[in-house]
């Protein structure tokens, strides 16, 4: 999961383009230690009205400072109006990796 | 030849199952989608938007539920940042509806979902600036 939090603008552009195939793209991830599960799946999909972010259900987080993160974990799904919103959400989860430093030049 | 007719139902069942497995094979990479997350034709459910410019504020998160009512779309506001002491009157903040179910005010009916989504972006971006600077819109 850390790769999505620290991902570069170029990597996110590639992810965004990949979603044009209208398929759900699923990634097996290692979760931060504050999650109740160590590994699981995160999925990305674009539909007609939004960009969708999926995560395996049944996961909780002890370090949640974000109500949006909590809602995402509870529902297993979060919809974003634009891809930039999805990106901003994921890149805003740096608190899950306290030692993570934002790279220079990357933006949200 | 009677034996053939005896086993025919089993052969047909097996054929159907084979075809079903071939054309309806679940993509193992596709996670099951929560049924509660599927939007209806008249309501999208919660959709998150972050105002383009935070104007220095830590919270720029908005959530909308776009609903089609009597042929036109409305952007119901599920969540918006704190107004931080600014006037929250519906007139000043360009909202309609009730305190429990406010929606974005616009000067004409919104005929498409895309229009409603565009309006909600514009509204959120202007409200963010209003919260930060007090600038009316």
Under the banding of pLDDT at 50, 70 and 90, the label for residue B15 is low
Contact A25 B66 (CB under 8 A): no
CB atoms within 10 A of CB A107: 12
Those residues of chain B whose CB sits closer than 8 Å to some CB in chain A are 27, 29-31, 33-34, 36-37, 39, 44-50, 61, 64, 66, 113, 117, 120-121
Which DSSP string do the residues of B43-93 spell out, in sequence order?
A: EEEEEEEE-S--TT-S--EEEEEEEEETTEEEEEEEE----TTS---TTTT
Q: Mutate which of A39, A40, A81, A95 to test chain B, going by most B C-beta atoms within 10 A? A: A81
Residue range A8-26, pLDDT digits in tens: 999 999 999 999 998 999 9
B54 close to B60: Cβ distance less than 8 angstroms: yes
Asked casually if ipTM beats, i.e. exceeds, 0.95, the reply is: no
Task: For residue B37, give the 3-state DSSP assignment.
Answer: helix
B34, B36, B47: residue with CB nearest A81: B47
Angle A72-A79-A21 from CA coordinates, rounded to 5°:
120
Contact A81 B61 (CB under 8 A): no
B31, B48, B113: residue with CB nearest A24: B31
Radius of gyration of chain A (CA): 13
Task: For residue A26, give the 3-state DSSP assignment.
Answer: strand
For the four alpha carbons of B120, B121, B126 and B128, in that order, the dihedral sign comes to positive
For position A84, what pLDDT does the model report? 97
Contact B50 A23 (CB under 8 A): no
Residues of chain A with Cβ-Cβ distance to B121 below 8 Å are: 81
Task: Give phi and psi for B129, each to the nearest 5.
Answer: -65, -40
CA distances from A34 to A62, A101, B131 (A): 5, 18, 33
User: What CA–CA distance (Å, rounded) separates B80 from B59?
Assistant: 9
Residue B33: pLDDT over 50: no
Angle B34-B39-B45 from CA coordinates, rounded to 5°:
95
A51-55 and A39-46: which strand pairing? antiparallel
Which pair of structure tokens corresponds to residue B101? 């179910």
Q: Which of B60, B49, B63 is closest to B129 using CA atoms?
A: B60
B34, B39, B64: residue with CB nearest A76: B34
For position A89, what pLDDT does the model report? 96
User: What CA–CA distance (Å, rounded) separates B22 from B108?
Assistant: 50
Residue range A38-83, pLDDT digits in tens: 999 999 999 999 999 999 999 999 987 889 999 999 999 999 999 9
Residue A33: pLDDT over 60: yes
For position B23, what pLDDT does the model report? 33
Residues of chain A with Cβ-Cβ distance to B113 below 8 Å are: 49
pTM of the model: 0.79
């Amino acid at each position: 999961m850390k790769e999505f939090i620290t991902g570069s603008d170029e990597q996110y552009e590639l992810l965004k383009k990949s979603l044009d195939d209208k398929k759900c793209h699923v990634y097996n991830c290692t979760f931060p230690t504050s999650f109740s599960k160590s590994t699981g799946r995160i999925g990305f999909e674009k539909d007609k009205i939004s960009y969708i972010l999926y995560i395996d259900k049944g996961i909780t987080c002890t370090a949640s400072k974000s109500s949006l993160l909590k809602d995402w974990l509870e529902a297993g799904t979060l919809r974003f109006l634009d891809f930039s919103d999805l990106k901003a959400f994921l890149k805003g989860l740096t608190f899950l990796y306290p030692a993570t430093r934002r790279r220079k030049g990357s933006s949200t | 030849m009677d034996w053939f007719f005896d086993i025919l139902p089993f052969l047909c069942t097996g054929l159907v199952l084979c075809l079903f497995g071939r054309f309806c094979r679940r993509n193992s990479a596709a996670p099951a989608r929560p049924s509660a997350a599927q939007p209806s034709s008249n309501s999208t459910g919660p959709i998150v938007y972050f105002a383009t410019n935070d104007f220095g504020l830590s919270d720029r998160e908005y959530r909308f539920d776009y609903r089609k009512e009597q042929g036109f779309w409305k952007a119901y506001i599920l969540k918006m940042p704190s107004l931080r002491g600014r006037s929250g009157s519906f007139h000043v903040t360009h909202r309609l509806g009730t305190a429990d179910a406010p929606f974005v005010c616009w000067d004409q009916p919104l005929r498409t979902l895309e229009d409603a989504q565009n309006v909600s972006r514009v509204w959120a971006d202007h409200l963010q600036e209003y919260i930060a600077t007090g600038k009316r819109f």
